[in-house]
Structure 1
């Protein structure tokens, strides 16, 4: 399935970009002030990290619903350690809180299932090929 996301520079802004994704309200991306941005929106790293947290939460919720477990909600907190990123090490710690689940075995199973979410596997098991090209209109 092909899906396109279009990222367009915002006029009169330093690094802020509008992100168009068919069927959704526009999103925005910027960079922190430390890198010359305005910090007016999440930066690309934030979107990368939040994709993992959201995928783990959604995958866990889907599993709990199928099992008819009493999961009321999930809080996923993703903490980034990018201090070694330039050396090729990018660490994400995901803390999951399963609201309404008191059974330790169910919580452990939900944590295990969260590690099988598509984004976790994409980040840790897949080879991602990126091709970049310039177009002239």
Structure 2
């Protein structure tokens, strides 16, 4: 796999027939959501001039049910008042990857013989 010049390895665990050489596909989905969440909040805090703010994101995926569910826990550490925390709560629900995952995607596939 290559994304914008960055080489990545994806695989499945041995129990699913893979060699565990890299994260499974849903691991990349979670990594994308975590990266987007942390980056968006960090950039927002910087633009607001809120000083040193650290963002950590923990995600869990539950695929046992009618619809997959992602549980996201975000911590913002720094000198933030309640208004700033409330604003971050609003922003986190509108990050680009959050909106894409909540809204779903249209996927257009072309499979060619190569």
TM-score, structure 2 normalization: 0.88
Give the helix-richer structure, 1 or 2.
Answer: 2
How many residue pairs match? The answer is 114
Task: Return the structure number with greater relative CO, CA threshold 8 A, min gap 6.
Answer: 2
Work out whether 1:111 is the aligned partner of 2:89: yes
- The structure number with the bigger radius of gyration is 1
The C-alpha deviation readout for 1:87-114, integer Å capped at 9, x for no partner, is: 3x11111111112134233122112201
User: Which residues of structure 1 form unaligned runs of 5+?
Assistant: 1-18
5 Å-filtered alignment, 1:54-93, equals: 54-84=35-65, 87=66, 89-93=67-71
SS at match of 1:28: coil
Range with bigger deviation, 46-55 or 95-104: 95-104
- The two structures, once aligned, show a CA RMSD in angstroms of 1.6
Aligned to 1:120: 98
User: Which residues of structure 2 form unaligned runs of 5+?
Assistant: none
Work out whether 1:23 is the aligned partner of 2:5: yes
TM-score, structure 1 normalization: 0.75
